[in-house]
Amino acid sequence: MESLLISLCGLRVLLRKSRSVRAGFGVIMSILCAAAGVRTAAAVTVNLSPMVARSTLVSTLDVGKEINVILSLPLSDSAGAAQFAQRVSNPKDEFYRKYITPQEFAARYGANADDYAALKEWAISNGLTIVHESLARTFLTVHGAVSQFQSLFKTQLDNYRSSDGKEFYSASVTPTVPDAIANKVVSVIGLTNSVQSAPLAKVYKKFGEDAPAAIEGTNVLGGTGPGGAYAPADLRTAYRIPSFGGGAPQTVAVFEQGGFFRYDVETYLNRMKLPHPAVTFVGVNGFSGYVYDFSIELEAVLDIDMIIAINPQVKEVVAYEDGNDPFGVALVDALDQVAADNKAPNPQHLLWVG
């Protein structure tokens, strides 16, 4: 896999492999923030989740519940950062693959250091706890009780139930960014957890059972795996994945949200006679890896299985997971931790497949 793929709310950003692909995260996460539907408007307010108008109010959210919220600052030179990402990704450009380190990216394009320091001071003085600081100073993740955020952002957080029965919490009154930070913050993530995962994996009663009859007009069978499913070789053929040969094995970091059981991964690798590279778990924002939803666990295992199936020479899969926070908070902080983490092997690629 030669590229970095990140997707959120329909937005897809592709960057080529680098000496440190992490250097581009400041650009990507700023774009993600705009795509998440939580940008501050001209009146320095935060847009409500569109799901609020389509859902049923259930109750007020427990004011003692503790949540993480991300406050975002703009890059000091967003146009220059975007141009940098494009040029190092363009094979026809003279700066193709002339990458910089995350620290160099922060120095060149990162958010204003004085503004970031002031934002941290504001958070602490208002009783919030800082749980994550981004390398490029573009994101500050703060922790506090619902009552604190309701007071600071002049809003109300309530529980809702969507038409498909899923429950979520969200601000029900348009939040207002406090005057003290209104000229610094460009977006707020985490006042809702209404973005839900949508697992697409098929659950069989037992591994390798006969596949269901094909639906007319589709061609989902014919694989060489159990029950006619696609085996790794079928996948590589279907997606025309070349055998590069001679390349150094790479580490892949994957973002997941909900934990996974290692024996599920091992079962697939054993059945498909695949190598067993190291699979490492890294908790984001204190997540322990506890499996709280088996459909999400299944999706995480499927992602890890497919990474190894498509590229059996992969050196290691590092699963960055946050099952505590809303999706937007979890994704942004996971991406930044990939960039900043000195404990895990330095990932040469990051892939989110969800």
Question: What is the model's pLDDT at position 79?
Answer: 93
Residue 84's nearest CA partner among 28, 33, 32, 126 is 28
Query: Using CA atoms in the order 95, 255, 13, 329, what is the torsion angle rounded to 10 degrees?
Result: -110
Question: For residue 127, which amino acid is it?
Answer: G
The answer to whether 21 and 338 are in contact (CB under 8 A) is: no
Question: What is the model's pLDDT at position 238?
Answer: 85
Cα gap 110→27, rounded to integer Å: 9
Question: What is the model's pLDDT at position 354?
Answer: 35
Query: Using CA atoms in the order 193, 262, 22, 49, what is the torsion angle rounded to 10 degrees?
Result: -10
pLDDT digit string (tens) for the chain, length 354 residues: 222 333 232 222 322 233 333 333 444 444 344 333 344 444 578 888 999 999 999 999 999 999 999 999 999 999 999 999 999 999 999 999 898 888 888 999 999 999 999 999 999 999 999 999 998 999 999 999 999 999 999 999 999 999 888 899 999 999 999 999 999 999 999 999 986 555 565 555 555 555 555 444 444 557 788 777 788 988 888 888 877 666 678 888 889 988 899 999 999 999 999 999 999 999 998 898 888 888 888 889 999 999 999 888 888 999 999 988 988 899 999 988 887 775 444 444 444 443
Go through 65-78 and write b for each residue having 16 or more CB atoms within 10 A of its CB, e for each that does not: eebbbbbbbbbbeb
Question: What is the model's pLDDT at position 118?
Answer: 97
Query: Using CA atoms in the order 199, 131, 35, 20, what is the torsion angle rounded to 10 degrees?
Result: -90
Strands laid side by side in the 139-145 sheet: 129-133, 139-145, 66-72, 187-189
Residue 330's nearest CA partner among 252, 253, 255 is 255
Question: What is the model's pLDDT at position 231?
Answer: 87
